[in-house]
Amino acid sequence: MRKERFDMKEYVMNTYGRFDITFQKGKGCRLYDDKGKEYLDFVAGIAVNALGHSHPIMVEAIKSQAENLLHVSNLYWNEPQLKLSKLLVELSGLNSVFLCNSGTEAVEGALKIARKYGKQFSEDKNRVVYLEESFHGRSMGALSVTGQPKYQEPFNPLIGGTESCPANDVDALKEIMDDNVCAIILEPIQGEGGINVLPDSYLKAVKDLCNKHNGLLIFDEVQCGIGRTGNMFAFQGTSVEPDVVCLAKGLGGGVPIGAFIANEKADVLLPGDHGCTYGGNLLVSAVSEAVINEISKQEFLDHVQKMGLYLKEKLHGLSGKFTSIEEVKGTGLIQGIKLSIPTKPVVAKALEKKLLLVGAGKDVIRFVPPLIVSMEEIDGMIRILEDVFKEFDEA
């Protein structure tokens, strides 16, 4: 017998801890709920809406592509996929692109590259190393390299041959590494893990160890890539070039797309090795190309850098006023504040005051606004946050 339901929400699988708000409209950095109330959005779909909401460039790209053709199989070529791939190769300096639908899929593809790369040398070269506090997605493969027990444990056993290592600990990595490692996967800035920027010296040491043991270096830039650091790719702000880069989120600015880009060494997948029905279809590729054309302009990236510095200054100002803010972390428009008090009530109180924020890790509040955010909007966010912290610090 079917159960009786009293609310439309009961038809949806209960996998998210959601706030009871339904959004209906967005413009720039503002969202509007079904009661017409306006919110300032510093979540941006968790680093997705890089151009904000309803950006005319995206609206135009969606309309004009929808009028022509949405989808054909990857049995055939399509021009938007070709143009987007060329753009991503030229901007990254890597060799070739596979387009998929999400960050998780991008990571899955990168893991398949790693395994196939290793097999060229020996059947035993199949170990994949990942970092504690990382987040790479929730499929069985991506979960197997996600260094957070709370996500992994309910689903054990995961795929074999993966091993975690504490982040930013070169000695620990040296211990783990050997010639049977086919890849190391890491986020240059750990997003979900709490906005942990991995220092350049560490990334260099990782790269050296990869070189020493002939392993691939995979950067998961799903959250921190596509202009968010003020560089087109996060690795371009470091002195290290990865062999594979995983992308999603800002890549589509709101349409579902992911990608992995490989350099020549890692370009090992052949026909039949990998595929994706929707991957690189005309609609998402055309929109993504429009988004990337905009974000990759130097003046756009300069804006992100400038807003990033401004946000940092303002967050430091705030932390000077409230003892519960212990640290300001991050760079560009991927920043966070580490709190000595629980983050959830702070996020909930900000929401009451019409500011959207999202936590990261166990004690960080994350700021990943649309990259088009203005100084006035940062000021507005800080004003609300100041009101919020007044309630907690003086409580």
Give the contact letters, 151-190, x = binds to ligand PLP (CB under 6 A), - = no. ------------------------------------x---
Number of neighbours of residue 174 by Cβ within 10 angstroms: 13
Q: Which helix (H) or strand (E) holds 100?
A: strand 96-100
Report in angstroms how near the CB of residue 220 gets to ligand PLP at its nearest: 5
- Cα–Cα distance for residue pair 191/189, rounded to 1 Å: 6
Closer residue to ligand PLP (CB): 256 or 380: 256
User: Which residues from 190-229 bind ligand PLP, rule CB under 6 A?
Assistant: 191-192, 220, 222-223
With respect to ligand PLP, which residue has the nearer C-beta, 189 or 384?
189
Q: How far is the CB of 392 from ligand PLP (least distance, A)?
A: 27
Size of the site for ligand PLP (CB under 6 A): 15
With beta carbons less than 8 A apart as the criterion, state whether 38 and 351 touch.
Answer: no
- The total number of residues shown for the chain amounts to 395
Find the helix packing angle between 298-321 and 375-393, rounded to 10°.
Answer: 20
Q: How far is the CB of 139 from ligand PLP (least distance, A)?
A: 8
**106 vs 382, beta carbon nearer ligand PLP:** 106
Per-residue tokens: 251: 């890549």
Read off the tokens for 88.
């991503």
CB of 234 to ligand PLP, least distance (A): 10
Query: Comparing C-alpha atoms, which of 55, 61, 105 is closest to residue 249?
Result: 105
Closest approach of Cβ 262 to ligand PLP, in Å? Answer: 17
Kindly write out the interface string for residues 123-152 of this chain, putting x where it contacts ligand PLP by CB under 6 A and - elsewhere: ------------xxx---------------
Instruction: Quote the Cα angle for 171-224-117, to 5°.
Output: 60
Taking residues 10 to 49 in sequence order and writing x for each that binds ligand PLP by CB under 6 A, - otherwise, the string is ------------------------------------x---
Please list every residue from 240 through 259 that binds ligand PLP, using CB under 6 A: 248
Torsion angles phi and psi, residue 121, rounded to 5: -105, -40
Selected from 104, 238, 331, 343, the binder of ligand PLP by CB under 6 A is: 104
Which of 43, 48, 26, 66 has the alpha carbon at shortest distance from 295? 48
Cβ proximity of 320 and 354 under 8 Å: no
State whether the Cα torsion 223-50-62-287 is positive or negative: negative
* Helix (H/G/I), strand (E/B), else coil: 261: strand
Examine residue 368 and tell whether it contacts ligand PLP (CB under 6 A): no
Contact in structure between 297 and 51 (CB atoms under 8 Å): no
In the bound state with ligand PLP, the residue whose beta carbon lies nearer, of 222 and 244, is 222
Output 187 or 289, the one with its CB closest to ligand PLP. Answer: 187
Q: Indicate the residue among 41 and 220 with the shorter CB distance to ligand PLP.
A: 220
Q: How many CB atoms lie within 10 A of CB 8?
A: 7
**What are the residues binding ligand PLP (CB under 6 A)?**
46, 102-104, 107, 135-137, 187, 191-192, 220, 222-223, 248
